[in-house]
């Protein structure tokens, strides 16, 4: 046995392609692959940025649970033990709860934590499920856009204050517009993902 026979064969010999045939092989379109890679990288960066932003906003909203818990506990103790409740506790609790809920809506959509009923759709094939998911996402996107619009219009015109603590109402109206805008970004990501899956299954 010769030592040279143990050396691995070049790939083009192993695949049955002679050296004189290499020049006649079809050229790879590297430009098209590069363009698709750059496009997916650009879209991927936007998706990552949006999801990171919503995680940060949800983390900020979670901070409001701490003062909400403390002020509620102190008010209960003051009312039941010392017969002296904290004035304005109900108003403060409502505002902090509104901040917590509104700023966490988009992150809940990102984690698919919203309530979804799939009694009927679960029995359909995946293609139909993707189509229904796209339709539902577009409807949610339409409603969220209306909330952005009306939240902004009502917020900049709001002049009312709360009854006891005289807290202005307009920041919380504008918070509805902000939460709906972040929701729109997440819905656009979901729409793109579902559309990409649908096109991939159709091709």
pLDDT the model gives residue 40: 56
pLDDT the model gives residue 11: 45
Q: Residue 19: pLDDT band by 50, 70, 90 thresholds?
A: very low
Q: Across residues 84-111, what is the average pLDDT?
A: 90
Contacts of 111 by beta carbon, 8 Å cutoff, 6+ apart = none
Q: Is residue 166 one of the residues assigned to a domain?
A: yes
Q: What angle do CA 105, 109, 113 make, to 5 degrees?
A: 95
Q: Is residue 23 one of the residues assigned to a domain?
A: no
Report how far residue 83's alpha carbon sits from residue 51's, in angstroms, rounded to the nearest whole number.
Answer: 47
β-bridge mates for residue 161, sequence order: 168
Asked if residues 109 and 187 have their Cβ atoms less than 8 Å apart, the reply is: yes
Tokens representing 159?
């002049």
Number of structural domains in the chain: 1
The 10s digit of each residue's pLDDT in 109-163 is 999 888 888 888 888 888 898 899 999 999 999 999 999 999 999 999 988 888 8
Torsion of CA 71, 73, 78, 84, to 10 degrees: 50
pTM assigned to the model = 0.73
Q: Is residue 13 one of the residues assigned to a domain?
A: no
Q: Residue 203: pLDDT band by 50, 70, 90 thresholds?
A: low
The residue segments making up the domain with residue 48 are 43-202
3-state secondary structure of 168: strand
Give one DSSP letter per residue of 75-114, joined into a string: HHHHHHTSS-PPTTHHHHHHHHHHHHHHHHHHHHHHTT-S
pLDDT the model gives residue 38: 47
Q: Across residues 68-76, what is the average pLDDT?
A: 90
Q: Is residue 153 one of the residues assigned to a domain?
A: yes
Tell me how far CA of residue 100 lies from CA of 12, 61, 66, 88, in angstroms: 62, 5, 11, 18
Asked if residues 182 and 105 have their Cβ atoms less than 8 Å apart, the reply is: yes
Q: Is residue 17 one of the residues assigned to a domain?
A: no
C-alpha dihedral sign at 113, 117, 118, 121: negative
Q: What angle do CA 45, 51, 53 make, to 5 degrees?
A: 100
Q: Is residue 10 one of the residues assigned to a domain?
A: no
Q: Is residue 130 one of the residues assigned to a domain?
A: yes
The 10s digit of each residue's pLDDT in 167-201 is 899 999 999 999 999 999 999 999 989 888 888 87
pLDDT the model gives residue 10: 47
Q: Is residue 8 one of the residues assigned to a domain?
A: no
Higher pLDDT, 37 or 73: 73
pLDDT the model gives residue 163: 83
């Amino acid at each position: 046995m010769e030592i040279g026979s143990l050396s691995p064969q070049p790939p083009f010999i192993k695949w049955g392609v002679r050296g004189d045939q290499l020049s006649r092989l079809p050229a790879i379109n590297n430009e098209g692959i590069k363009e698709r890679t750059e496009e997916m990288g650009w879209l991927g960066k936007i998706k990552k940025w949006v999801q990171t932003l919503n995680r940060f906003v949800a983390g900020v909203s979670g901070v409001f649970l701490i003062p909400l818990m403390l002020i509620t506990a102190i008010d209960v103790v003051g009312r039941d033990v010392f017969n002296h409740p904290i004035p304005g506790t109900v108003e403060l609790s409502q505002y902090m709860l509104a901040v917590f809920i509104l700023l966490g809506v988009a992150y809940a959509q990102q984690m698919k934590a919203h309530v979804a009923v799939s009694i009927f759709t679960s029995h359909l094939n995946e293609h139909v499920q993707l189509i229904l998911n796209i339709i539902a996402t577009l409807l949610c996107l339409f409603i969220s856009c209306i909330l952005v619009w009306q939240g902004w219009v009502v917020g900049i015109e709001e002049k009312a204050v709360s009854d006891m603590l005289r807290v202005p109402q307009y920041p919380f109206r504008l918070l509805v517009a902000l939460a709906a805008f972040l929701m729109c970004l997440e819905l656009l990501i979901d729409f793109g993902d579902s559309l990409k899956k649908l096109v991939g299954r159709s091709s």
